[in-house]
C-alpha cells in the first residue's frame, strides 16, 4: 500500500523515499511547511486523490483532458470527479502555504472544491505533503493591486479565455476552474493571477500567455496581461470596485 502511496516501484526506493522525506524535514525545517508529510500522504490519499489524482496530477474530462494528467488512470476511467493539477511546478512555485491552507479549509464557494474535508493539524500535514512535489524554486508574489484597464481586459478575456473559463468567469464544471469564485478571489492576489496567466500551468491545457514563451498559443504584452487581471478583479464582490475600471 505504502509503495503505491509514494508512487515507487520497489521496496528499496520506497524506503529511500521515506529517508528522503525525513531528511527533508530536518534539513529544510526553516522553509518547509510545518506539517508532517507522512501523515499528510495518508490524509491526501483518503480525501483528495479521487479528484486531484494520486500524485496531484489532476483529473477529469474526457480522457483526462481537463489537466492532461487524468490519462494516468487509463482511458476507461472517466469520472465526474475532477480537480486541478496540484503537482504543477508553475502552480507550486508561486503559491504559498497560506493559499493552500485557506483553499483546503474553505474550499471554493461553487462547492466543486469542497471545504472542510480535513481540519486541525491534518491541514498542515497535507500542505507539507503537497509541498514535497515542488522541485522548482519559489517565486515571490506580491499583494499589490494591479492598476490597469479592465475594459480592454474584458475584450482580451472574451477572445482568449472565455471559451474555457466561461463568459463570466464561472468556469465549466468538469473542465476548468471558476475565476469569478469569491473564495478564489479572496486568496488569489492580482500578482498571483498575473503570474498564472504569464506562465500558465504547463502540465495542463492552461497555456502561458507571456510573449516569447515557446508553449504559448496566444502571446500577450505584459500590459495586456495586467488588463485581463483588472477585468477578473471586477468579479470580486468583497473588494472595493476600482474607480473608472468597471464599464
Residue with cell 509503495: 3
> Is 37 a binder of ligand HEC (CB under 6 A)?
no
> Is 50 a binder of ligand HEC (CB under 6 A)?
yes
In angstroms, the Cα distances linking 25 to 22, 80, 126 are 5, 36, 14
> Is 199 a binder of ligand HEC (CB under 6 A)?
no
Question: How many CB atoms within 10 Å of residue 97?
Answer: 17
C-beta of 240: minimal distance to ligand HEC in Å? Answer: 21
> Is 112 a binder of ligand HEC (CB under 6 A)?
yes
Contact residues for 233 (Cβ-Cβ < 8 A; gap 6+): 146, 150, 185, 190, 193, 239, 242
Give which of 219, 181, 224 is closest to 200, Cα–Cα.
219
C-beta of 142: minimal distance to ligand HEC in Å? Answer: 16
Question: Which run of H or E residues covers position 60?
Answer: none
> Is 59 a binder of ligand HEC (CB under 6 A)?
no
Contact 146, 212 (CB under 8 A): no
Residue of 36, 189, 190, 209 interacting with ligand HEC (CB under 6 A): 209
Residue of 33, 103, 149, 198 interacting with ligand HEC (CB under 6 A): 103
> Is 72 a binder of ligand HEC (CB under 6 A)?
no
In angstroms, the Cα distances linking 26 to 32, 51, 85, 97, 227 are 9, 31, 28, 18, 43
> Is 231 a binder of ligand HEC (CB under 6 A)?
no
User: Which CB sits closer to ligand HEC, 27 or 223?
Assistant: 223
Summarize as ranges the residues that interact with ligand HEC (CB under 6 A): 47-48, 50-52, 58, 66-67, 81-86, 88, 91, 100, 103-104, 108, 110, 112-114, 117-118, 126, 160-161, 164-165, 171, 176-179, 181, 184, 193, 196-197, 201, 204-206, 209, 228
Amino acid at each position: 500500500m505504502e509503495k503505491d502511496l509514494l508512487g515507487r516501484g520497489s521496496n528499496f526506493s520506497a524506503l529511500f523515499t521515506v529517508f528522503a522525506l525525513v531528511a527533508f524535514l530536518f534539513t529544510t525545517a526553516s522553509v518547509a511547511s510545518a506539517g508532517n508529510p507522512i501523515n499528510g500522504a495518508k490524509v491526501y490519499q483518503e480525501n483528495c486523490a479521487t479528484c486531484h489524482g494520486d500524485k496531484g496530477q489532476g483529473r477529469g474530462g474526457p480522457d483526462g483532458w481537463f489537466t492532461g494528467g487524468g490519462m494516468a488512470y487509463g482511458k476507461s476511467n472517466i469520472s465526474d470527479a475532477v480537480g486541478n493539477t496540484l503537482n504543477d511546478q508553475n502552480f507550486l512555485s508561486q503559491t504559498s502555504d497560506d493559499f493552500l491552507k485557506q483553499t483546503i479549509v474553505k474550499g471554493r464557494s461553487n462547492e466543486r472544491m469542497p471545504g472542510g474535508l480535513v481540519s486541525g493539524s491534518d491541514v498542515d500535514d497535507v500542505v507539507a505533503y503537497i509541498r514535497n512535489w515542488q522541485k522548482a524554486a519559489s517565486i515571490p508574489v506580491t499583494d499589490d493591486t494591479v492598476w490597469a484597464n479592465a475594459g480592454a481586459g474584458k475584450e482580451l478575456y472574451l477572445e482568449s479565455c472565455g471559451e474555457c473559463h466561461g463568459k463570466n468567469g464561472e468556469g465549466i464544471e468538469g473542465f476548468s476552474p471558476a475565476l469569478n469564485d469569491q473564495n478564489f478571489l479572496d486568496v488569489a492576489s492580482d500578482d498571483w493571477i498575473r503570474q498564472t496567466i504569464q506562465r500558465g500551468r504547463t502540465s495542463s491545457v492552461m497555456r502561458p500567455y507571456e510573449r516569447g514563451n515557446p508553449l504559448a498559443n496566444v502571446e500577450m504584452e505584459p500590459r495586456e496581461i495586467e488588463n485581463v487581471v483588472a477585468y477578473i478583479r471586477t468579479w470580486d464582490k468583497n473588494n472595493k470596485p476600482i474607480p473608472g475600471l468597471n464599464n
